[in-house]
Chain A
Amino acid sequence: MSRAYLFRRTLIAIPSLLGISAIIFSILAAAPGDPFGQLVTNPNVPPAVIAQLRASLGLNQPIYLRYFHWLIAMLHGQWGFSFTSRMDVATLIMQRLPVTLAVLGSAEVIAVLIAVPVGILAAVKPYSLFDQIANTFAYVGFALPTFFTGILAILLFSVRLHWLPFVFQDHVSGTGWVWIWKEVKQSIMPIMVLALFQGAPLVRFVRSSMLDVIRLDYVTTARAKGIGKRRVLMRHVVRNGLIPVVTLVALQLPGVFGGAIVTEQIFRVPGMGSLLISALLENDTPVIMAITFVFAILVIVFNLIADLLYGWLDPRINLR
């Protein structure tokens, strides 16, 4: 791993980001509708007013001009103003970020904490009862989309049992333990639904990656040398088997920022995903651009981090 490599990757990222932003912008511009679509059906709003509103947002300019305006502002660190709420996009995103990180972050942490040990144990004794059960759960989590598990959870825990609320509130009243308890109660369902969804593929991945390593000759050698089973597993197998898992998790992390559109919608979690979907529905270009662009940056950055980590963890891999 060299400094030159890092430099080169960063340089390559610039045209990629420009390309991504240009593509997203032109797709949005080509998509039908604008923030004032609803007004058109309203006979009480004169067309001149709608035209004036469009002009006030610069929507009457040609697409390439709008794109360059946006790009130049972005380079100056200005994310623009939301078309619909006229609020600074950065403020809008900062409002949503804490909840997003709390909910998706905990889901990711829980997914990793459960999936890694389960995957390892399943690989140690393949086709055992434990492996079968773990696999079943992994397939279920893999196969069932969040909109299904989410609604299932709501029907069971909210509607049937009345244990948990299903409307997530960002402004929970109360202090101290009461507050914490309320927060936990309302977060359990979205976090668990997401953790199942994120954790399931991870279990499969950890298991297969471990199985690849466990069969290798050096593991047999270690065993033959008489090193304890536990030690062989932890020091020789897990250490090497988890290298690709680290990469996978690193690649999943941008998603924590980007939010989970479907799950957030079901539980009304006011996160990044729900901001993105409402911006999409209202054709709020600056907000969509900001979220997708930041997401694109994060994906590129985390890809780079994953590559660097990979090289660091596994010296056989040579980055040039």
Chain B
Amino acid sequence: MEETDLRRLINNVKRGRLSRRGFVKRMAAVGIAAPIANQLLSLSGVAMAATPFDYKPTKRGGGGTLKVLWWQAPTLLNPHFATGTKDQDGSRIFYQPLAGWDADGNLIPQLAAEIPSLENGGVAKDGTSVTWKLKKGVKWHDGQPFTADDVVFNWAYASNPATAAVTSGSYTYNKAIKVDDYTVRVEFNKPTPFWADPFVGTNGMLIPKHIFEPFIGAKAHSAPANLKPVGTGPFKFKSFRPSEYVSGVINTDYYEPNKPYFDAIEMKGGGDATSAARAVLETAEYDYAWNLQVEWTVLKQLEKAGKGVIELISSANVEHIQLNNTDPNKVVDGQRSSLKAPHPTLTDPAVRQALSLLIDKDSVQKYIYGPEAVATPNYVNAPPRYYSKNTHWEFNIAKANEILDKAGYKKGSDGIRAKNGNKLKYVFQTSINGPRQKNQEIVKQACAKAGIDIVIKAIPASVFFSSDVGNPDTYPKFYADLQMYTTGSNYPDPWQWMQSFVSTQASQKSNNWEGRNITRWQSPAYDKLYAEAGNEMDPVKRTAMLIKLNDMVVDNVVVIPELHRMNVSAQVKNLVTRLSGWEDDMWDVASWYRNA
């Protein structure tokens, strides 16, 4: 669907000629899922009507204890220092942001009274500010009122470099200003089309000013409340043991009526993913188990016990293979894979094209990941409004051979193709992980049939994913020809994530390999479009630009996307949860309940 068509339809909705539902249906017909369609409407100034969550309980409490199992456990309970999802999940039981994202990428108010938009005046037309109205009458767990001062304090706390908050990225290029006790304005340094970052979602959880004020800056890490949260959430803090156990009891002053249903919550940590799945699916000792990175066949077997169900939630994660644009075997200025040494063969479009034809994504999905992942041609897979329809993929060994023949790569006596003395022999690295090694094997076999020799290398995850400058085997160094791992945008807006292909972001010695562009692809056209998308306030245009960015990456085979991965969790049969791929699992635990 072209941009003009989209615009016409949206205008029809605005003028009342087309119902929201009609619009959503039409979008569905062209492959744009309902949530995205809704998002398009809201971004274009049509009020957002998020699908209401069907919450059945008619009174607060009475649900007993909710027992959840995290096979990694929180180590501290301050969201500004959360080093992983486990810490964010532990914090989210007690702390809340102004708004959260539902599974479809819609903004749902939590501590905000309403979602700012262009037509309610919340979002400035030039995109330089957004004004949030806060819920009135919300109390912190110690009885103090929640006000705009708390919100502004969180900005000051997180943006202070001495605090070293991991959320600081969301509070650096903006400023929070108190308008009145229940109104806060966020001012951005430049037009910011994606304004829903500060105070929203995982990075937006708010901590109380009256408790944390003495601990701003360098003292932040010694605040006792880092381990004893006082929040606004549905449960009040009861006890915490790092890496093991978090518990909370019902907050009877919670601001949403009839919520929460459960009288208490227990989050138990430790063990491994498979036995966590077992404790929910087979024995129902626990109600919910998080992040089950377990082979599909095993999970399916456990589900047969009939006590629980597996939940699959779409996220932005994509398992993909990166092609190195620089030569990992040549040392220039004391580093391998230098921008000054282009890769002898992988920079050849023919070779890249051939490689992309040699990845049997269907087999990888069918035999390794099952429904936990879906084969995809795209790097950006979610939310669906950013899913490009212009790309496609195929597995075709004959065609790959043909392309390589035409490009002049001749098979030698060893069956490996070469041109000008450069053999098509590649080191393909990834982390040690059962499914990934099987995946490597599938790629190796297909490539062998096209005269490309793949040398498999598996690196312990703790090394591969580390930033250790002294270690040659980390993924940011990429001292190999090909590498594979999963990455994804944390936000339902992929712009920031797409910086991983911006030329100046190339991961090099000069930036301690902290640059986000791991493949070191250099494309002025991409850089230009990326910069433009960062300033584009028109949501429809911006969406089109982001899709175009994805297409450039896919068409040039900068990376070969393999599978769009799902978040996998398990829950007992009568439990009703509300999960979202854009949020912590605990983001709306207030709405969880048990069916009678």
Contacts and interface: CB of A to CB of B under 8 A. Distances in A.
Contact of B242 (A47, A84, A154, A162): A84
Contacts of A35: 83
A11 B52 CA distance: 72
A27 B305 CA distance: 45
A266 B271 CA distance: 6
Interface string B499-516: 110000000000110101
B285 A32 contact: no
Contacts of A26: none
Q: Using C-beta atoms within 8 Å of the partner chain, give the interface range for chain A.
A: 35 or more
B42 interface: no
Contacts of A42: 166, 490
Given A53-B164, A85-B76, A32 B462 contact: yes
Contact of B243 (A32, A33, A167, A278): A278
Nearest to A150: B275
Interface stretch (B249-257, B343-351, B464-472): B464-472
B279 A56 contact: no
A201 interface: no
B164 A40 contact: no
B487 A41 contact: yes
A49 B164 contact: yes
Contact of A32 (B172, B471, B500): B471
Given A53-B164, A85-B242, A171-B247, A278 B490 contact: no
Nearest to A52: B164
Given A56-B164, A165-B285, A32 B468 contact: yes
Contacts of A33: 462-463, 465-466, 468
A82 B75 contact: yes
Given A44-B203, A158-B283, A265-B272, A37 B462 contact: yes
A14 interface: no
Given A49-B168, A265-B270, A84 B466 contact: no
A108 to B, nearest CB: 22
Interface string A67-93: 000000000000000101111000010
Interface of A: 31-50, 52-53, 56, 82, 84-87, 92, 95, 154, 158-159, 162, 165-167, 169-171, 264-266, 268, 270, 274-275, 278-279, 281-282
8 nearest CB pairs, A to B: A85-B242, A52-B164, A84-B75, A40-B467, A33-B466, A47-B514, A278-B243, A32-B463
Interface of B: 69, 72-73, 75-76, 83-84, 161-162, 164-166, 168-170, 172, 203, 218, 221-222, 226-227, 239, 241-245, 247, 266, 268-272, 275, 278-279, 282-283, 285-286, 305, 460, 462-463, 465-468, 471, 474, 476, 487, 490-491, 496-497, 499-500, 511-512, 514, 516
30 contacts: A31-B462, A34-B467, A36-B83, A37-B462, A38-B84, A40-B466, A41-B465, A42-B490, A43-B490, A43-B496, A43-B500, A45-B166, A49-B166, A49-B169, A52-B162, A52-B164, A53-B164, A53-B166, A84-B75, A85-B227, A86-B222, A158-B282, A166-B279, A167-B268, A169-B268, A171-B266, A265-B271, A270-B270, A274-B244, A278-B243
